[in-house]
């Protein structure tokens, strides 16, 4: 299983959740793929399809039946901002992947919003393309609120601002095992795994 990403944090999260389900899981670099797929689709699932297909097409000749590529795209959807930053989450503050600038822009946009109206959710859209098998698509979500200042040193992206009420922590205050037990990425992956089991 190849994860269509060069994001070390994302690869670690997914590998941790896939342990025991596949013989070998690796990122693009380990698979020898050096490419950057432009994520210009209008939806999270559209970006995931594009990434999965691009990487699969490069590797297809060397894959065995059932082997494949898993791609995901994640967005933070804030209710008070009409669902923004959404599909633009990684580039909210401009082109590139500047997490700190993205978080600052989000806090500035929510400066006048009261605590009770700062609800949000993460959504992860996943696409699995395998050789000789049907594609699998799934979207997982997790709901929380956006706090007013960053808390925690773990995670990446908007994790230090996303407060998850059931655990009384931001995602950045959780260790990897805690986050993997409740995250949007985990919820999407569980749907993918359920679809795989249903094929047997």
**Close Cβ partners of 159 (under 8 Å, ≥ 6 residues apart):** 152, 170, 171, 172, 179
> 145, 115 in Cβ contact below 8 A?
yes
Query: Strand 136-146 vs strand 119-130: parallel, antiparallel, or unpaired?
Result: antiparallel
- Rounded Cα gap, residues 111 and 123, in angstroms: 23
Q: Is 73 a catalytic residue?
A: yes
Candidates 67, 72, 73, 159; catalytic one = 73
DSSP string, 110-160: TTTS-GGG-EEEEEEEEEEEETTS--EEEEEEEEEEE-SS---SSS-TTGG
**Close Cβ partners of 90 (under 8 Å, ≥ 6 residues apart):** 39, 97, 102, 157
Could you list the active site residues? 73
């Amino acid at each position: 299983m190849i994860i269509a990403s060069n994001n070390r944090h994302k690869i670690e999260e997914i590998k941790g959740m896939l342990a025991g389900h596949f013989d070998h899981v690796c990122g693009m670099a380990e698979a020898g793929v050096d490419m950057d797929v432009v994520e210009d689709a209008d939806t999270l699932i559209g970006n995931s399809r594009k990434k999965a297909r691009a990487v699969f097409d490069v590797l297809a000749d060397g894959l065995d039946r059932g082997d494949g590529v898993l791609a995901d795209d994640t967005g933070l959807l804030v209710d008070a901002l009409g669902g923004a930053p959404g599909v633009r989450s990684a580039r909210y503050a401009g082109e590139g992947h500047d997490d700190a600038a993205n978080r600052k822009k989000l806090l500035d946009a929510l400066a006048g919003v009261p605590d009770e109206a700062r609800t949000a959710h993460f959504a992860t859209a996943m696409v699995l393309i395998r050789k000789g098998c049907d594609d699998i698509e799934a979207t997982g979500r997790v709901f929380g609120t956006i706090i007013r200042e960053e808390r925690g040193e773990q995670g990446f992206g908007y994790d230090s601002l996303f407060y998850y009420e059931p655990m009384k922590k931001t995602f950045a205050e959780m260790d990897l095992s805690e986050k993997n037990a409740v995250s949007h990425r985990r919820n999407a992956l569980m749907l993918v795994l359920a679809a795989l089991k249903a094929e047997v």
